[in-house]
Chains A and B, each alone.
Chain A
Amino acid sequence: MSIYEILFWFLTIMAISSALGVILSRNPITSVLFLIVTFFAISGHYILLNAQFLAIVNIIVYAGAIMVLFLFVIMLMNLNADVEPQKGRLLQLAGVIAGGVLFLVILAALKSATVLPLEKTSSDIGLIKNLGRVLFTQFVLPFEISSVLFLSAMIGAIVIGKKEETKNPLTP
C-alpha cells in the first residue's frame, strides 16, 4: 500500500464515521464538533485530488465561519438538548428505506461502470495562480453575480432576524 492509499482510506473512515456521529449524536454541540471533523477529512480528500486552494477555502469558510455561526446560535438558544424526542419508528424506517434504496441503486450502477485510466497531469492545477487567472477571465460574470447574492443574503438575514419592536405601529 502506498502512502496515497493509506491516506485515502484513513480520510474515508474519518469522514464517514464522523458523519455518522453528526447524525446519531443527541447533543447538537457534539454534532457540530463532529461536522468540523468531517469537513477536515473532506479537505484532506481535496488535497489528494489536487485541489489545494479549495481545501484551504473549505476549512476557512466551513470550519471557520459557518460552524462558528452554528455554535453561537446553539449556545444562544440554550437548548436542553438531551431530551430531544425522536421521530416515530415509522418515519425512521422511511428514512432508512429512502436513503438506502437509492444508495444501493447508485452503488449497483457504479459497479458496472467502466473507468477511464487516469492520465498524468501536473499536480499544480489547483493552485491559486491558475484558479485566479481562469476566475477573472472565463468565470468573471458568475463571480460578480455571487457578490449580489451575498448582499441580498446579508440584507435578508438582517431583516428576518431583526427583533420586532412593536407588533402594531399604530398603537404606541
Chain B
Amino acid sequence: MGIGLLHILFVSIALFFIGVYGFLTRRNMITMLMSIELILNSININFIAFNKFLYSDKLDGLFFTVFIITIAAAEAAVAIAIIINLYRNYKSIDIEDADTMKY
C-alpha cells in the first residue's frame, strides 16, 4: 500500500475543517485570521497534489499555489491593519465587541 492521492487529500480535508471549526468557534480576531491561513494552506496542498498526480508534466497547480500565497500575504497585512484599527476604537480584539454596525 503506497501513499496515493487519497491520503494527501485526507490531510488537506482534515486541515481545512480544523480551520473551519476554529473560524466558527473562536472569538479572538487574530486566531480567526490564523484559521483562515490554515484553510488557505490546505487548499495549497490540494493544488500541488492534483498537479503531481494528474498533470505531472505541467506546472499550473504550482502557480496557483504561488498566487494563493501572494494573496494570503496581502490579505494578512490588510486584515491586521483592520484589527489594529478596531483595537484602537474598542480596546479589545474580541469579535463580539465590534458591534456598532449590528444594530
Taking Cβ atoms with an 8 Å cutoff, the residues of A that contact B are 4-5, 8, 12, 15-16, 19-20, 22-23, 28, 31-32, 35, 38-39, 42, 45-46, 49-51, 53-54, 57-58, 61-62, 65-66, 69-70, 73-74, 76-77, 79, 81, 84-87, 91-92, 94-96, 98-100, 102-103, 106-107, 110, 113, 115-116, 118-119, 121, 125-126, 130-131, 134-135, 139, 142, 146, 149-150, 153-154, 156-158, 160-161, 163
Choice from A5, A119, A126 contacting B3 with Cβ under 8 Å: A5
Task: Say which size band chain B's interface belongs to.
Answer: 35 or more
In Å, the complex CA distance between A159 and B40 comes to 26
**Secondary structure call for the B interface:** helix
Q: Please, which residues of chain B bring their CB within 8 A of the CB of A126?
A: 62
Nearest B residue (CB) for A35 = B34
* With contact pairs A84-B27, A115-B4 given, residues A16 and B48 touching in the complex (Cβ less than 8 Å): no
Q: Please, which residues of chain B bring their CB within 8 A of the CB of A5?
A: 2-3
Instruction: Add 19 more A-B contacts to A32-B34, A103-B13 (CB < 8 A).
Output: A8-B7, A22-B22, A22-B38, A23-B18, A23-B22, A28-B30, A45-B8, A53-B62, A57-B69, A70-B30, A70-B80, A95-B21, A118-B4, A118-B53, A121-B56, A125-B59, A134-B59, A153-B78, A161-B81
In Å, the complex CA distance between A149 and B30 comes to 23
Choice from A8, A12, A16, A121 contacting B57 with Cβ under 8 Å: A121
In Å, the complex CA distance between A86 and B31 comes to 12
Choice from B17, B28, B37, B73 contacting A99 with Cβ under 8 Å: B17
Choice from B13, B51, B76, B81 contacting A66 with Cβ under 8 Å: B76
Contact call B31/A73, Cβ cutoff below 8 A: no
Contact call A160/B82, Cβ cutoff below 8 A: yes
* With contact pairs A69-B76, A157-B81 given, residues A95 and B24 touching in the complex (Cβ less than 8 Å): yes
Q: Which of B28, B31, B63, B67 has the most CB of A within 10 A?
A: B31
Q: How far is the CB of B52 from chain A (nearest CB, A)?
A: 5
